[in-house]
Chains A and B, each alone.
Chain A
Amino acid sequence: MPVPEPIEDFESLENLDELDLMIASALQSEPMRPAPFTLHRRVQERIRIIALKERQRVRFRYTMLSLAVAFSSATLMAAALVVFTNFELVRTNGLPGGLGIYDLYASSMTLSASSYGGAYSLMTAVLLAAVTILIGLAPLRAHRRRSRG
């Protein structure tokens, strides 16, 4: 190993008194210590953990992104259905076909309880969509609350 060459006059011996020499000697005589044999292994292990965490973070990000895309598409689809449906007509007369079976059960159930004879399936779907949107927006509201606080 190259020994550092002295710089300027303050390094020369005549400018140094006993204390300076003692300090220089104490610092120069400090031996190079071998690194602990565990250092390399521990660094490797921790780097592996960092790499794993990074991979998990990327995976989580992709999962959340795909869920957000799925949720947004479902919401858009539901909105499009509502837009292209004659909502008032369906609400008052109910739905024919497969969904009508549910309306049939719902109607027969509610005949005794309520006078409403409209589309229960549609109403339930609209209610569920509203709840889903609220649940979907909950993290966003929490995030805003946290950032405000």
Chain B
Amino acid sequence: MSSKAAALNPALASGARGLTDLDDLELVNRSKSNDPDAFSELVRRHQHIVYNVAYRYMRDNALAEDMAQEAFLKAYRLLKGFRGDCSFSTWMYRVTCSVCLTELSRRKRRGEVELGPQHLSQLAEEPTYTGDMPEIIRRCVGKLPDRYSKIITLYYLKGISYDEIAEVMDIPMGTLKTWMFRARKQLRTVVEKELPSDARA
């Protein structure tokens, strides 16, 4: 809705203000009845967290933005199937993770593999550690199996509780704890392989 139209029509303006007051479920119901402004408000509310989830998978700004767009579009298409069993944000995490993992597996199938530290060390005669160790460690999460990378990504994304992660993954809390334990163990192994020996020292 344009601000000019809202200024000319007080009813429109109050409608626009009203959207920000509505909770997610009401906005979803409005979106289901073909109200594009309601879905736009949902996008505005959740864009930061969706973008951050996407970034943690893709590790690239442009790709993360593309994936966030795809996630919202997929959510828009699937919105009629959203029954409200969980919160919209939980459902959005699930959609975003699914979109990113699909894209990553598509890239792996097509052989679009990024150059990691092990490739760089093959290219250079004398491997030198550039110093961005946290970033190398973060990239290692993407090398874990899908379910482990999903829980690690969501766990370290601030603001997402364990209950919510269990809900996103659709698994009981006990299973989540077991998976988390195995995920950390595997991540440690991957990091040990990926980090240059001088960096570890």
**Interface, chain A (partner B; CB < 8 A):** 1-5, 7-8, 10, 19-20, 22-23, 25-30, 32-36, 38-40, 42-44, 46-48, 50-51
Contact = CB atoms under 8 A, between A and B. Distances in A.
Interface stretch (B4-12, B36-44, B90-98, B100-108): B36-44
24 contacts: A1-B159, A4-B155, A5-B162, A7-B180, A20-B184, A23-B187, A23-B188, A26-B134, A26-B135, A30-B134, A32-B52, A36-B51, A36-B61, A36-B65, A39-B65, A39-B69, A40-B40, A40-B43, A40-B47, A42-B65, A43-B68, A47-B39, A50-B73, A51-B36
A35 B188 contact: no
A82 B158 CA distance: 78
B191 A19 contact: yes
Majority-rule SS of A interface residues: helix
Contact of B161 (A2, A10, A28, A46): A2
A19 B200 CA distance: 8
A43 B43 contact: yes
Interface residues of B, number: 45
A5 B161 CA distance: 8
Contacts of A38: 65
B137 A27 contact: yes
A137 B65 CA distance: 47
Interface string B156-179: 111111100000000000000100
B150 interface: no
Nearest to B50: A35
Majority-rule SS of B interface residues: helix
B39 to A, nearest CB: 7
A3 B157 CA distance: 9
A50 B137 contact: no
